Structures are given as structure tokens and as C-alpha cells.
Amino acid sequence: MKAKTTETTPKKAETKKQESVLTELQTKRERKVVLMQGNEAVAYGALDAGVNFFAGYPITPSTEIAEILALELPKRGGVFIQMEDEIASICAITGASLAGAKALTATSGPGFSLMQEGIGFAKITETPCVVVNVQRMGPSTGMPTSPAQGDIMQSKWGSHGDSPAIVLYPDSVKESYELTIRAVNLSEKYRTCVILLLDEVLGHMREAVRLPDMANVRVISRIKPTVPPHWYKHYDENQKYLSPLASYGEGYRFHVTGLTHDVHGFPTNKATEAAEMMERLRKKISYNIRDLVQIESHKMEDAKIAIFAAGIVSRAAKAAIAMARQEGILVGLLRPLTIWPFPDDAVRKMLRNVETVIVPELNQGQLIHEIQRLTKDKSESNVISLQRVNGQLLSPNDILRKIKEVS
């Protein structure tokens, strides 16, 4: 059909014809609007991003992710395995990734804590993988089916040693899907363990979502080496610290270790090589902040009060802003989709015009430290914390009350 069209039609018409065919295909293949949980969206996002290896251990409120992938991965020839614990899970996905897989695991707070050593290993060895943490209230076993945002700092500082983090934080079911794909893409591009933080409410909440056609999903895969094996450096410094990555079994026979290593991956005690490795880990994140950071600005143009909120809390904030604006209070919202690296520049710029910042969060004050750090010149009364840690959400009215208090 296609060949015939090319032969018989003039150039302009040909382009049009092809476009229409494409549109038709898209319409046919376009997925219906479905009612979907955040956890389901993560699972489908993972599949669409090309994840073909999942190892996990059951923990509320993340189990649906494992359950769906247990159902879907075998159909696509992918691997699903339920490991003996969370530590084994992070290790297995790292091992699989070294063998060439796009690998993901999902867990919640206590499991996330167990994984920290393995997350550090994935970071120092620069092995792509994704850890989804559907946060629940802690510390310890806490309240397994109640929301909290207590892992914001753990996601950055949880692993020992200095290890720059990439952490994404969605606020809706659709965004859970999108940011899962982004997490996989970033992990492949930057060769690191990327963390996706989800709120318990989001994991279990259902929203109507239309997943995009696969043709519109941008999938990034690791760069493969093109040099002969004896030229291959497992940690080659090329542009922006993103280097090609060979897999086991492809003839490159590289060494991977959690010890401080040189560019070939072999352990080293030399101060210069150690510093080089640490700088490399830091720079590949800090030099690419523009690519990594995403932030949403909502009604900030004329705002005198700014709310800085992530995840599910930002939705209550949006409702509160609508109510406050009806009463003439000029308030807006800043919402980071990437919480680590922290969007310093964007926040500084947008905060320049406001008098007060409210930071509502479901913890005893974690995000607020970053805002305080960036607003050193302002007095303490300009940065106001609104905290809740009782297993309940902050409602729009809670936030509205605070807005009125400070306006």
C-alpha cells in the first residue's frame, strides 16, 4: 500500500496521505480513558518505558505495582521475580541491569530503608535502575495505609557516603505514569539509581487517565559502546559525564565494584582517582540540573504569598489557592516534580517577588529546610511551615486557614 502511494502521488499529497494514515493508526491504537490507581499507572509507565525486569518484596502500599507486573511482564517476555526481601530485590535489579535489563523495584518506607546500601551500590557503580517508594507513615512500621511525606530526606541522604540523588515526585495518577517513564529514562541516561516518590494516597487513589499512544512515549536507553573491548572504559568521561555502558555477556568483560574505583572499574586507593570518581558522581547530576529539574508554577505571576508543596499536598494547595483568590488574596503555588536535585535557581527566581512562603507537608518539616536555605536573607517569619503527621491529609481548608493567617 505504502509503496504504491509513493509511486503514484505527487510529493505534497503524499505527505498528507501519510499523515492521515498515521492519525488513523493513532486513533485505533489510542488507549481508552480508564479509571486507574497511581500504582497501576506506575506499573504501566514502567512497561511503556521498556522495563523488562522487576524484582520486589511485598509491602503495603506498593503491592499493586508488583502484582500488575507479575501479570504483565511474562506476556512480554520480561522477568518478574518475588525475592526473599527488599535487600535481595535491589541487588537483583542491579545485577539484571548489569546484564542489560531495564530494571525496576517498588517498595515502601521500611523496605526503602533496607534498600539503601544497595541504592548506594547502584550509584557508585553507575548502574541504571529505578526504585519506586510509595511512602507510608513512619517511623518503623508506622501506619501502613496512611499517607506521609517522611521519606523526602531519606531519598536524598538515606545511603551512606556522598551520593547525589535524582528523585521525582508526581501529584496525580497521570503524572505517576509520566514520571515513571521519566525515571526510567533518566536512570538510563545518567547511569544511576533514580527514585520515584509517591504518596500512599496517590498509590491507591483512582483517577480517569488516558494513557498516550506508544508512538508519543519517548523512551531513552543507555548508550552502548562502539569501541573494541580492549578500548572500553566502563566509566569513560565523555560529554557531560554520560558514558557508554556495556552489559555482561557482550564481550567487554568489565569489572564492577562498590569499592572506590578508577575509570576501568578497578579498586583504587589513590587520592587523585578517588577524588575523580567522587567528582564524576557529583558533576553528572549538578552539571545537568537544567535537564533534570522540572517545576510547576501555578498562579505565581502576581502572587504575594507562595506555597511550596510536593506530591499530594500540592493538590490541596491548589484548591486552597482558588478559594483564597476568590477572597482577593494573591497566592500561588510552586510544585517541584523533581525534588532532588533541588530546583534552587527556579525557586530563588520565583520567590523573588513574594513576601511569604508557606510550606505545607506531611512530615515534621523536611522540604522547608531547603526553602529556608534559599531564603536566608528573609526573616524567619517569611517562611512558614504547615506540618501534619497523624496519618491524615492536609485539606484545602487547613491550607486556606494558614493563608489567611499570614495574609
Partner 1 sequence: MATIPQRIIHEYLRHDKKFPHVWCSGCSIGIVLGAIIRAIASMNIDRDDIVMVSGIGCSSRMPVYVDFNTLHSLHGRSIAYATGVKLYKPHLKVIVVTGDGDCTAIGGNHLIHAARRNIDLSVILINNFIYGMTGGQCSPTTPQEAIATTAPYGNIEPEFNICELAMGAGASHVARTTAFHTQEVQGMVKDAINHPGFSLVEVISACPVIYGRLNKKGGAPQMMKDMRDNSIPLTAVDKLPPEKVEGKIIRGTLRRDIRPEFCAEYAKLVERVKTAEGKNEEL
Residues of the shown chain interacting with partner 1 in the complex, contacts defined by CB under 8 A: 52-53, 55, 74-75, 77, 79, 81, 83-85, 87-88, 91-101, 103, 117-118, 121, 247-259, 264, 266-267
CA distances from 242 to 22, 237, 281 (A): 34, 7, 10
Contacts of 101 (CB under 8 A, 6+ apart): 52, 53, 79, 93
CB of 191 to partner 1, least distance (A): 16
For residue 72, the minimal CB distance to partner 1 (Å) is 10
Nearer to partner 1, 100 or 391 (CB): 100
Tell me the sheet residues that pair with 193: 129
In angstroms, give the least distance from the CB of 157 to partner 1.
19
Nearest to 45 by CA among 152, 230, 154, 185: 185
* Residue 78 beta carbon to partner 1: minimum distance, rounded to whole angstroms: 8
Q: List the one residue out of 258, 280, 261 whose CA is nearest residue 270.
A: 261
In the complex with partner 1, the residue whose CB is nearer, 139 or 229, is: 229
Q: Give the nearer residue to partner 1 in terms of CB position, either 210 or 270.
A: 270
Please list the alpha-helical segments (H only) found in 9-161: 11-29, 38-48, 63-72, 86-98, 109-124, 152-157
Q: Could you tell me how many residues make up the chain?
A: 407
Residue 314 sits at the vertex; the CA angle it makes with 46 and 62, to the nearest 5 degrees, is 35
Q: H/E element holding 7?
A: helix 2-8
By CB atoms closer than 10 A (0-12, 13-18, 19+), residue 92 is buried
Q: What angle do CA 258, 263, 266 make, to 5 degrees?
A: 45
- Nearer Cβ to partner 1, position 231 or 287? 231
Q: Least CB distance from residue 73 to partner 1, whole Å?
A: 9
CB of 122 to partner 1, least distance (A): 10
Question: How does strand 33-37 pair with strand 206-210?
Answer: antiparallel
Q: Which is nearer to partner 1, 191 or 315 (CB)?
A: 191
Q: Between residues 117 and 398, which has the closer beta carbon with respect to partner 1?
A: 117
Identity of the residue numbered 21: V
Q: Name the grid cell of 5.
A: 502511494
Cell 565523555, located at residue: 238
Cross-strand partners of 54: 80, 104
Grid coordinates representing 137 are 507513615
Contacts of 118 (CB under 8 A, 6+ apart): 87, 90, 91, 94
Q: Are 396 and 298 a contacting pair, CB within 8 Å?
A: no
Nearer of residues 56 and 61 to partner 1, judged by Cβ: 56
Least separation, in Å, of the C-beta of 338 and partner 1? 27
Q: How far is the CB of 97 from partner 1 (least distance, A)?
A: 8
The radius of gyration of the chain's CA atoms, rounded to the nearest angstrom, is 23
User: Which CB, 29 or 240, lies closer to partner 1?
Assistant: 29
How far, in Å, CA of 94 to CA of 347, rounded? 34
Q: How far is the CB of 227 from partner 1 (least distance, A)?
A: 16
Nearer to partner 1, 252 or 308 (CB): 252
Q: How far apart are CB 115 and partner 1 at their closest, in Å? A: 11
End-to-end CA distance of the chain: 66
Please identify, using beta-carbon distances, which residue of 215 and 259 lies nearer to partner 1. Answer: 259
Collapsing DSSP to helix, strand or coil, 107 comes out as strand
